[in-house]
Amino acid sequence: MSSVKETISGLMQELRRGTIIIGVLSQLSEPQYGYSLVAILEEKGISIDPGTLYPLLRRLEKQELLESKWDTNETRPRKYYLLSPMGKEVYEQLCLEWKSMISSVENIIEQS
């Protein structure tokens, strides 16, 4: 029985991986720093640990979907991330893809 659970958790991880990027992009039309993003996503039911989010933010920045800026005015310096124009475009396109994917998958599930 445990192998079924393990398999499911492995597959869920794969499914979640893509959705996390959509989640992150969705929240960055306003600048956010890493930990505030963790809290916001948590609140909305998408849990991601900081150890995954922080490297992901850097990767998205490297892919030019995000822009970043250090804010040193607060009590501690924080790196804020914001959608780049390209990131905005990519996000909108991703949302359309996501919706069409959902409807296809739902179709398949209902028919079977």
Partner 1 sequence: MEIVKRYIYAVTHKLPEKQRADIEQELQGLIEDMLEHRTQGGEICERDVEEVLLELGAPHELAAKYKGNRKYLISPELFDLYWVVLKIVILSIVIGLSVVAVIEFLLEPVRGGPFIGEFVVSLITSCVQGFAWVTIAFGIVEYNGVKASGIELDKKKEWKPSQLPAIPNPQTQIKRSEPIASIIFTLIITILFTASIQFFGIINFNDEGSTVVAPFFNEEAIRTYFPLLWGLIALSILKDGLKLVAGRWTARLAAFNLLFNIASLVILIIVFSDSAVWNPEFLNDLVASGIVSSGSEGFQTVSNIWNNTTDSMIYIIAAITIIDTIWIVWKMYRIRGSK
Per CB under 8 A, residues contacting partner 1 are 33-35, 39, 49-52, 54-55, 58-59, 70, 76-79
Give CA–CA dist 18/40, Å, rounded.
Answer: 18
Where does residue 64 fall: left (phi above 0), alpha (psi -120 to 50 degrees), or beta otherwise? left
Closer of 45 and 51 to partner 1 (Cβ): 51
Closest separation between CB of residue 70 and partner 1, Å? 8
Closer of 30 and 92 to partner 1 (Cβ): 30
Closest separation between CB of residue 92 and partner 1, Å? 23
Helical spans, DSSP H, in the chain: 2-26, 34-43, 50-62, 85-111
Closest separation between CB of residue 1 and partner 1, Å? 27
Closer of 52 and 107 to partner 1 (Cβ): 52
> Helix 2-26 crosses helix 34-43 at what angle (to 10 degrees)?
120
